[in-house]
Structure 1
Amino acid sequence: MRDVEDRLRAALNRPARPSSDFDLNPAISLPPGRVLRPAAVLLAVWLRPEGARLILTKRASHLKHHPGQIALPGGKVDQGDDGVIATALRESVEEVGLPPALVDIAGTLPAHETVTGFSVTPVLGFVRAPFTPTPEAGEVEEVFTVPLAHVLNPEIYSIERRRWRNEWRRYYAVPFGPYYIWGATARILRGLADRVQP
């Protein structure tokens, strides 16, 4: 497991390109002076005996925004949060029942701009102790994990497209079993994969 940690910590120190939902859509013009709302997500790498796994959620199907989509635990920065790391930890408690004391924060990745007007900072942390994931009933339908090696392999990512607001938008996808991981979540994970040396 030490090798996994070392590779990920080293990746945080490598240069990275800016990250956004518009990376694969250069023809889209972004309005100058736009104001993005700050948010954060937790890349929780669970160091388990059978191998490192990443904790993900499936959003509840009744939600107004992004129903049923696969996401990293996280959300918008609240006024009482002491920065993006505090936000990522607070949201992880609320959404998946992950106690902050179990998370060893390694650092952050470049903020990711979403088409919905958020600037999302991915926070990388390691979970070494066992815990029982508990989905927040009003927001999370399921908590699950995927092998870290799966999302760190750039070769298995595909570029797909769909119509959104009358435009074709291209995006990354990295499905795993029945879970269709795409959009901002896949782009953030691809950004990490690009920085991790084999």
Structure 2
Amino acid sequence: MPRDRRPPAHNPATLTEVQEAVRQLTRFPPTLDNFNRPNKAGVLAGLFHCKKRGLTLIMTQRSSKLRSHSGEVAFPGGKWDSTDDSIIATAIREANEEIGLDPAHVHYLTTLPPNVSRINSLVYPVVAHLYPHLEGTIDAETFIVQYLEPNPDEVEAIFAVPLIMLVRDGPEHSSFDMQWLGTKWRFHEFMYAWPSQEAVEEGSARDKEGAGTFRVWGLTGGFAIYLAMIALDCRPDFEWMAPGQADSVAMVRLWKESNLNARL
């Protein structure tokens, strides 16, 4: 578990700082996929070392044409398929299909504990270091333009979020409580502007394509915060859970048992 300390003064930016954050994630015991039902999915939480921002998370805005979670911010990923060797393979395959991510440059780190989506699917966040050989040599805008390609049927935009933003109670952050899985749950959201005006002026971003203010929240936001807590070995500046909020691992265990006892 992350230490009970405040976030660092700045986002991991030097090679040493980024390597330490990656090391923290590799030390995290990976969650095994022992859910023997088809209603599960794998998403790829990919870390990229941006020259200007430091360590970032690659996220997408889903196409408004999709039937589920249309127009929402999400990690690339999707439903498990019986041909997938593992939930890790699911996340990597889906990331390749959605954003053109080359599997050869995906360095697996760990798998975080899953949670349940609104469509009653168990979602596993698979954490990976993307294109580690580039290590801070180019900006995220340039990386997205040169190395990724959004599938227009599934993805409207690709962007990169600095890890430090996810544990700071800055102007981008807010939260609210609501009932989820039979208990009070705290949801966090971050309003994030992308790309930077500087990147557009330099020509390293696709003009205004994919630009906007993105709402990072819900399941994706929760996964992202927990990942940042592990990588930075800290607690957020804000209250992470609602008063009396049940442990998510225990809640997922009960949900899995109810699914295993139900008919297919």
TM-score by length of 1: 0.77
Answering whether residue 114 of structure 2 is matched by residue 111 of structure 1, we say yes
SS in 2 for 1:135: coil
> Which amino acid in the other structure matches residue 139 of structure 1?
E
Residue in structure 1 matched with residue 161 of structure 2 by the alignment: 146
- Give runs of aligned pairs for residues 124-139 of structure 1, distance below 5 A: 124-127=127-130, 128=132, 129=134, 131-139=146-154
Answering whether residue 86 of structure 2 is matched by residue 71 of structure 1, we say no
Counterpart-to-counterpart distance in 1, 2:38 and 2:185 = 20
Counterpart-to-counterpart distance in 2, 1:162 and 1:60 = 26
Residue in structure 2 matched with residue 31 of structure 1 by the alignment: none
Residue in structure 2 matched with residue 179 of structure 1 by the alignment: 214
Answering whether residue 97 of structure 2 is matched by residue 94 of structure 1, we say yes
Higher percent of residues as helix: 2
CA contact under 8 A between 1:41 and 1:121: conserved in structure 2? yes
Residue in structure 2 matched with residue 47 of structure 1 by the alignment: 49
Answering whether residue 227 of structure 2 is matched by residue 192 of structure 1, we say yes
> Which amino acid in the other structure matches residue 58 of structure 1?
Q
1:143 CA displacement: 1.2
Task: Render the CA deviation track for 1:125-160: whole Å, top value 9, x for unaligned.
Answer: 111245422111111111111222222x15344323
1:87 CA displacement: 0.8
> Which amino acid in the other structure matches residue 99 of structure 1?
D
Structure 1 residues 132 and 12, CA gap change in structure 2 (3 angstroms): closer
SS in 1 for 2:187: strand
Task: Render the CA deviation track for 1:62-88: whole Å, top value 9, x for unaligned.
Answer: 222111100001111111111011111
Structure 1: where are the runs of 5+ without partners?
A: 16-34
CA contact under 8 A between 2:38 and 2:80: conserved in structure 1? no
SS in 2 for 1:142: strand
CA contact under 8 A between 1:154 and 1:194: conserved in structure 2? no
Task: Give RMSD over aligned pairs.
Answer: 2.6
Residue in structure 2 matched with residue 4 of structure 1 by the alignment: 18
CA contact under 8 A between 1:107 and 1:125: conserved in structure 2? yes
Structure 1 residues 98 and 14, CA gap change in structure 2 (3 angstroms): closer
Higher percent of residues as strand: 1
Counterpart-to-counterpart distance in 2, 1:46 and 1:193 = 13
CA contact under 8 A between 1:58 and 1:69: conserved in structure 2? yes
SS in 2 for 1:190: helix
Structure 1 residues 160 and 192, CA gap change in structure 2 (3 angstroms): same
Structure 2: where are the runs of 5+ without partners?
A: 1-14, 30-36, 135-142, 194-212, 235-264
TM-score by length of 2: 0.59
Residue in structure 1 matched with residue 39 of structure 2 by the alignment: 37
